[in-house]
């Protein structure tokens, strides 16, 4: 078991494995995304209250989910890096930050596009919007800290501490903002009772959520591969690879 | 060589930091002056009308306190880092997190505590009703140590960098949001004559959480920054 895990943590093994995984993941992402878009934009019924403009949730909700999921992934990877000193975990954390920030931004933009016709305002200081905005700042802080520190090892460890501090704060921020002011509609999918969303809307939503998750894994692995190559550029296996390609 | 006990090390470090702060009295006044100036900008910038000022007073005082604390974070580790005493601190046989706590306490005593004294005065200037004053002082009493504790993490992460001012605010301000929300909300509720125990409990709970966790994070960050 441990031998297996250690082999997986070796950059060379990771590079080869991810190289084989990425095409599969990429195609699955594409298929799921097209299916989700078709189901969401054509097959799902029109909302009795919001008309067709509710359909933006098929992008908005999955990206909001992903924005939080990726932060947790980043924090877990950071903890692994700090405890077991696995450098690959840091590559994962670093590559996740950019994707996570993009999803956070996407969730904010789509929410704002939806908010204009529904609430009559581009931006409202509501609980979910505000906590999402702060999440975006946390991502920016993480990336800025990493960029500001020259030494790669120091940057990795400092970033790891910051992401762990941030993940402790996320529930606090989420609930504090929630109690402070709220206009956003309540949870319709993740509550404990049966979801109050129509099944024909739920299916495209879940398909899109899965597509977004796969998209994240694909892009994260792609950028992690580049990062691994750059970090290991003085090792023989990378040089052999370069000679083979050339 | 016999080394001082942990309590003794704690008090020694605390006394040293306080002495250092009082030797630089002009620097000591800077955050307070900043606090007063920022608050006095609002009547000029927003409106001098008492009704408007009364409405925004809790938030304005809290945001100013937050910014003043953040500006003063630099004095927590910067000069120690530059003259090398921070490295000595990390080499000491005592747990660094406890020593960090002494430094944070010193920082709070010289920046947070004066804010508490000054806040009611500024409340009067902003037409905050008298009933809200106890809540203002109490929320600041619970909140400003929290600001020092959270800020110490950000400061420890950036102490090794040359120009860290903007980066520090990017790291620390998002983490300050819950403190700001509950602090300002408590004052707001008190001004409206509502009970504030709920907000105070939250501030207290966050203070306990930060007291137990943030020295560990700060100690880890210092080791990273100094290595």
Residue A129's pLDDT is 84
- Whether residue B219 is contained in a domain is answered as yes
Angle at A180 between CA A176 and CA A184, to 5 degrees: 100
- Whether residue A3 is contained in a domain is answered as no
pLDDT tens sequence across A5-33: 677 678 888 888 888 888 999 999 999 98
| Residue B208, domain extent | 6-226
User: How many domains, chain B?
Assistant: 1
In angstroms, the separation between the Cα of residue B2 and the nearest Cα of chain A is: 33
Q: What is the ipTM of this complex?
A: 0.86
- Whether residue A2 is contained in a domain is answered as no
Residue A158 at interface with chain B, using a CB cutoff of 8 Å: yes
**Is residue A141 predicted with pLDDT exceeding 90?**
yes
pLDDT tens sequence across B39-88: 999 988 988 888 888 888 899 999 999 999 998 888 888 888 888 888 88
Go through B5-42 and write b for each residue having 16 or more CB atoms within 10 A of its CB, e for each that does not. eeeebbeebbeebeebbeeeeeebeebbeebbebbeeb
Residue B82's pLDDT is 87
Mark yes or no for CB contact A177/B173 under 8 Å: no
pLDDT tens sequence across B114-159: 999 999 999 888 888 888 899 999 999 999 999 999 999 999 999 8
- Whether residue B92 is contained in a domain is answered as yes
The pTM for the full model equals: 0.87
Mean pLDDT score of chain B: 89
Q: Which residues does chain B have within 8 Å of residue A145's beta carbon, measured at their own beta carbons?
A: 157-158, 167, 171
pLDDT tens sequence across A42-66: 887 777 666 677 788 888 889 989 9
Q: Which residues does chain A have within 8 Å of residue B178's beta carbon, measured at their own beta carbons?
A: 169, 172-173, 176
- Whether residue B46 is contained in a domain is answered as yes
In a mutagenesis test of the A interface, which of B77, B178, B202 is the best target, namely the one with the most A β-carbons within 10 Å? B178
Which single residue is written with the structure tokens 């001012």? B165
**Is residue A191 predicted with pLDDT exceeding 70?**
no
| Residue A34, domain extent | 15-244
Per the model's pLDDT, the better-predicted residue between A246 and A183 turns out to be A246
Residue A166 at interface with chain B, using a CB cutoff of 8 Å: yes
**Is residue A178 predicted with pLDDT exceeding 90?**
no
In angstroms, the separation between the Cα of residue A210 and the nearest Cα of chain B is: 30
Across A52-61, A144-153, B29-38, B197-206, least confident range: A52-61
- Whether residue A9 is contained in a domain is answered as no
In angstroms, the separation between the Cα of residue A140 and the nearest Cα of chain B is: 8
pLDDT tens sequence across B168-216: 988 999 999 999 989 998 998 888 888 888 889 999 999 999 999 999 9
Residue B147's pLDDT is 94
- Whether residue B1 is contained in a domain is answered as no
User: How many domains, chain A?
Assistant: 1
Residue A171's pLDDT is 87
Contact criterion met (CB below 8 Å) for B107 and B65: no
Residue A40 burial (CB < 10 Å; 0-12/13-18/19+)? Answer: buried
Rounded to whole angstroms, the Cα distance separating A138 from A163 reads 8
- Whether residue A1 is contained in a domain is answered as no
Residue B1's pLDDT is 54
Go through A6-15 and write b for each residue having 16 or more CB atoms within 10 A of its CB, e for each that does not. eeebebeebb
């Amino acid at each position: 078991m441990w031998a297996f895990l250690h082999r997986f943590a070796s950059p060379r093994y990771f590079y080869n494995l991810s190289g084989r995984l990425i095409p599969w993941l990429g195609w699955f992402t594409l298929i799921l995304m097209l299916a989700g878009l078709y189901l969401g934009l054509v097959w799902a019924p029109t909302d009795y209250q919001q008309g067709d403009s509710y359909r933006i949730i098929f992008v908005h909700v999955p990206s909001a989910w992903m924005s939080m999921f990726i932060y947790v992934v980043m924090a877990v990877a950071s903890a692994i890096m700090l405890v077991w000193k696995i450098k690959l975990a840091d590559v994962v954390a670093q590559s996740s930050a950019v994707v996570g920030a993009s999803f956070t931004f996407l969730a904010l933009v789509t929410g704002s596009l939806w908010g204009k016709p529904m609430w009559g305002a581009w931006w409202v200081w509501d609980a979910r919007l505000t906590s999402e905005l702060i999440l975006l700042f946390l991502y920016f802080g993480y990336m800025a800290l990493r960029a500001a520190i020259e030494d790669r090892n120091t940057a990795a460890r400092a970033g790891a501490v910051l992401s762990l501090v941030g993940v402790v704060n996320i529930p606090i921020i989420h609930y504090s903002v929630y109690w402070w002011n709220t206009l956003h509609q309540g949870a319709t999918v993740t509550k404990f009772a049966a979801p109050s969303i129509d099944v024909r809307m739920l299916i495209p939503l879940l398909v899109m959520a899965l597509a977004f998750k796969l998209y994240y894994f694909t892009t994260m692995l792609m950028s992690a591969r580049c990062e691994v190559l750059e970090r290991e550029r003085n090792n023989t296996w990378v040089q052999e690879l370069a000679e083979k390609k050339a | 060589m016999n080394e001082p006990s942990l309590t003794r090390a704690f008090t020694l470090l605390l006394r040293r930091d306080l002495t250092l702060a009082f030797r630089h009295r002009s620097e000591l006044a800077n955050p307070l002056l900043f606090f007063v100036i920022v608050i006095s900008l609002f009547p000029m910038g927003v409106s001098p009308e008492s009704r408007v000022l009364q409405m925004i007073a809790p938030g304005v005082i809290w945001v100013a306190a937050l910014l003043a604390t953040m500006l003063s974070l630099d004095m927590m580790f910067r000069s120690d880092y530059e003259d090398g005493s921070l490295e000595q601190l990390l080499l000491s046989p005592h747990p660094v997190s406890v020593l960090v706590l002494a430094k944070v306490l010193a920082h709070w005593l010289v920046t947070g505590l004066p804010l508490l004294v000054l806040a009611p005065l500024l409340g009067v200037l902003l037409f905050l009703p008298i009933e809200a004053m106890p809540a203002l002082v109490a929320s600041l009493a619970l909140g400003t140590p929290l600001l020092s504790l959270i800020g110490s993490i950000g400061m420890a992460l950036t102490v090794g960098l040359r120009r860290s001012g903007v980066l520090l605010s990017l790291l620390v301000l998002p983490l300050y949001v819950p403190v700001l929300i509950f602090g300002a909300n408590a004052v707001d509720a008190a001004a409206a004559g509502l009970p504030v125990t709920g907000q105070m409990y939250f501030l207290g709970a966050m203070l306990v959480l930060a007291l137990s966790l943030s020295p560990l994070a700060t100690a880890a960050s210092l080791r990273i920054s100094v290595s």
